[in-house]
């Protein structure tokens, strides 16, 4: 099946219209028309080969919302007309310990990501959601709660699960103090989710202009992290801190804000190594860890949680023809807080 898409053909050229092939419907497959696709900073990194390893042509997009058009003869979980989602993964080995534990993102044989990963069905590489349609095994398709705005729900498939997974892993609950470092596409979701979990939420920011927005999103307090006095006043006070910043920065002042047995989890991916002063860990038995996305089971749990609490992303909806402009603005942090592509214009 041939479908329209937008692709990067090398690391410097703008994304442009391109025709791609999708596989024929198999017995366990779901075919969907793509309605919306979120724009993740990862899309830009991979399209421009900033992490290395990009295979061209590359069709980005792993925050996909669509409507089912056909299902295979063995599909039991979905039917034509359902609103569904596809996140960062479209397959895994399903037999390794991580997959058996529902942690397919850590598949020991190699997770098949939604784009720029080996396509075991057609050969070549997988193509993502900057396209009109996609065919995915039902095991990697997600139900979208009916009360959520579909366009604003798209970023939940990456930004949502990237922040939900560590919050759940560290058992965030009422009575806990949670810090969020950075208020961007990931950070604004972390604020909404942590508040819905009942935590007292503080945003650490280097921008005084984000105070009102942080409070609007649900933060109980905003801390200007460049002010040493403000940071010292929060020493030894947080149970958990989620760091969403992808630029190089000093994490040690945030580690000092953790109480005994507190944890700082990194989900932003800076280009250079971060320096950790070990004393900040051994003192108060603090820990520093990282987190990726979540498995399919946890992603569905996150979507259901968002449906229950009416949580979606703050978005700016754009036609696919403005994707290159959106990438330029993304580099300048000129979006509140996530671009979502309306594929109707493709």
Confidence of residue 194 (pLDDT cuts 50, 70, 90): very high
Percent of the chain with pLDDT over 90: 93
Confidence of residue 312 (pLDDT cuts 50, 70, 90): very high
Q: Note the pLDDT of residue 100.
A: 97
End-to-end CA separation in angstroms for the chain: 16
Q: For 102-121, what is the mean pLDDT?
A: 96
Q: For 65-82, what is the mean pLDDT?
A: 97
Beta bridge partners of 67: 33, 83
Helix or strand holding residue 229 (H, E): helix 228-233
Residues 245-272 have pLDDT tens digits of 988 999 999 999 999 999 999 999 888 8
2-157+314-345, CATH topology level? Quinone Oxidoreductase; Chain A, domain 1 (3.90.180)
Q: Note the pLDDT of residue 86.
A: 98
In terms of DSSP bridges, do strands 338-342 and 29-38 run parallel, antiparallel, or are they unpaired? antiparallel
Q: Note the pLDDT of residue 210.
A: 87
Q: Note the pLDDT of residue 209.
A: 83
Q: Note the pLDDT of residue 208.
A: 80
Q: Model's pTM, two decimal places?
A: 0.95
Q: Note the pLDDT of residue 270.
A: 87
Residues 123-178 have pLDDT tens digits of 999 999 999 999 999 999 999 999 999 999 999 999 999 999 999 999 999 999 99
pLDDT above 90 for 74 = yes
pLDDT above 90 for 16 = yes
pLDDT above 90 for 116 = yes
User: Where along the chain do its domains lie?
Assistant: 2-157+314-345, 160-290
Q: For 86-115, what is the mean pLDDT?
A: 97
Q: Note the pLDDT of residue 300.
A: 98
Q: Note the pLDDT of residue 79.
A: 96
Q: Note the pLDDT of residue 178.
A: 98
Q: What CATH number labels 160-290?
A: 3.40.50.720
Q: Note the pLDDT of residue 207.
A: 84
Q: What is the mean pLDDT of the chain?
A: 96
Q: Note the pLDDT of residue 293.
A: 96
């Amino acid at each position: 099946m041939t479908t329209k898409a937008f692709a990067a053909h090398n690391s410097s050229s703008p994304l442009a219209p391109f025709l791609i092939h999708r596989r024929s419907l198999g017995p366990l497959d779901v075919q969907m028309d793509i309605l919306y696709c979120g724009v993740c900073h990862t899309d830009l990194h991979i399209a421009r080969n900033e992490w290395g390893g990009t295979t061209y042509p590359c069709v980005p997009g792993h925050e996909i919302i669509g409507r089912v058009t056909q299902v295979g003869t063995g599909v039991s979980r979905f039917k034509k007309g359902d609103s569904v989602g596809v996140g960062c993964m479209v397959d895994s080995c399903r037999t390794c310990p991580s997959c058996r534990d529902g942690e397919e993102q850590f598949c020991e044989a190699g997770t098949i990501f939604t784009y720029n990963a080996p396509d075991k069905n057609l050969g070549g590489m997988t193509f993502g959601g900057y396209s009109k349609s996609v065919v995915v095994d039902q095991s990697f398709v997600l139900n979208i709660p009916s009360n959520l705005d579909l366009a604003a729900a798209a970023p939940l498939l990456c930004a949502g699960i990237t922040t939900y997974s560590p919050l759940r892993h560290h058992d965030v609950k009422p009575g806990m103090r949670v810090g969020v470092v950075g208020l961007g596409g990931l950070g604004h979701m972390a604020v909404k989710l942590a508040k819905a979990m009942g935590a007292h939420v503080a945003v650490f920011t280097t921008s005084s202009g984000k105070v009102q927005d942080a409070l609007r999103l649900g933060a109980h307090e905003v801390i200007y992290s460049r002010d040493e006095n403000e940071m010292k006043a929060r020493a030894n006070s947080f149970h958990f801190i989620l760091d969403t910043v992808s630029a190089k920065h000093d994490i040690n002042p945030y580690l000092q804000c953790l109480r005994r047995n507190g944890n700082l989890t990194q989900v932003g991916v800076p280009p250079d190594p971060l320096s950790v002063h070990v004393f900040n860990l051994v003192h108060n038995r603090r820990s520093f860890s990282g987190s990726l996305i979540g498995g399919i089971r946890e992603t569905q749990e996150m979507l259901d949680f968002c449906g229950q609490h009416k949580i979606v992303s703050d978005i700016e909806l754009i036609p696919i023809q403005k994707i290159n402009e959106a990438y330029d603005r993304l580099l300048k942090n000129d979006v509140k807080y996530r671009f979502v592509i309306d594929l109707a214009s493709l």
